[in-house]
A = this chain, B = another copy of it.
Amino acid sequence: MVKITDVARHAGVSPSTVSYALSGKRPISEETRQRVEASIRALGYRPHAGARALATSRSKVLALVVPLRAGIHVPVVMQFAVSVVTTARGHDHDVLLLTQEEGEEGLRRVADTALVDALIVMDVQLADPRLPLLRSLDRPSVLIGFPAEPAGLTCIDLDFKAAGERCVEHLAGLGHRVVALVGSPPEVYVRQTAFAQRVVQGFTAAADRGRLASSVHPCAASPAAARAVAEQLLWEQPALTGVVVHNEAILEPLIDAFEELGLRVPGDLSVTAICPDELAESLRVPVTSIALPSGEVGARAVELLVKKLGGKAVPEATLLAPRMTERGSTARRAVA
């Protein structure tokens, strides 16, 4: 292994000069710098990460904790991870991958051993057991999603409330007067993340504001459940013409069910969703949707973290404004 003293000898300077030439933390004459750089290239020198981490107490590594729990939409997680890695590299950092499974002990371990400088935690629960730990850690962190008590933590996510509102407003703008929200599986509403509730809040608020008739239906992640909800909706709200779907797994089966029940999309029924763009695009009937911008969230999370590492203040809460893409699944209400 070639080390800094080798470079120094080769270039005829002291090791500290090499270090300064590299970091630019002190002025070095142009000529010396050139010579040092030439030696570095000639010898193929790379600073030893561990030594540097020891001397600077900065590892230039970020931890990323990914969820494993069933019901998580895998492509979203992957896209998120890739964008975190890419953005981190752009800021000269690497990414250590941890699984949820490791739990609090895992977080404490990588933080306390100084393996990582900072942490990104996905899939945050309302009352996440990791919150006190994250608050007490001496390294900064960013949470994806909002817990019930976000004070003292940096959180980022799509503004799900606004997303719910936006969907209703879109439908209202097309003349729809009776709408329904088909949401996440029931258990999500009780135990999990806050985003499901926020969608409901936004949906309901916007419907009330616009004086639309509305209803909310949790729905399990199976085609059968989708079918059941479709039938129930037709029975309970015969005048229904607009549906908002916030449940990746049943988006397609639900549309199929509606069509089998004789409702054309978007002819008889307009459908909008909150889901990844790729999903909305890939369906038989491309769906007008609010994007789940996992890539952007990942990039922004890294940027927040890097700022914190740089000693700058960052907002505690970052809500990404929803962006809607119109596709073929919504239309102006047919006047009967």
Contact B113 A49 (CB under 8 A): yes
Copies of this chain present in the complex amount to: 2
Whether A156 sits at the interface, judged by CB under 8 Å, is: no
Interface residues of A in 9-60 (CB under 8 A from B): 44, 46-54, 57, 59
CA distance A52 to B44 in the complex (A): 24
Q: C-beta contact mask, A64-80 vs B, less than 8 Å → 1, else 0?
A: 10101000001101100
Whether A85 sits at the interface, judged by CB under 8 Å, is: yes
CA distance A156 to B110 in the complex (A): 30
Whether A237 sits at the interface, judged by CB under 8 Å, is: no
Whether A97 sits at the interface, judged by CB under 8 Å, is: yes
CA distance A86 to B106 in the complex (A): 12
Whether A104 sits at the interface, judged by CB under 8 Å, is: no
CA distance A89 to B106 in the complex (A): 10
Whether A264 sits at the interface, judged by CB under 8 Å, is: no
What residues of B have a CB within 8 angstroms of the CB of A109 in the complex?
46
Contact B86 A99 (CB under 8 A): yes
**Which of A57, A59, A115 has the most chain B CB atoms closer than 10 A to its own CB?**
A115
Whether A216 sits at the interface, judged by CB under 8 Å, is: no
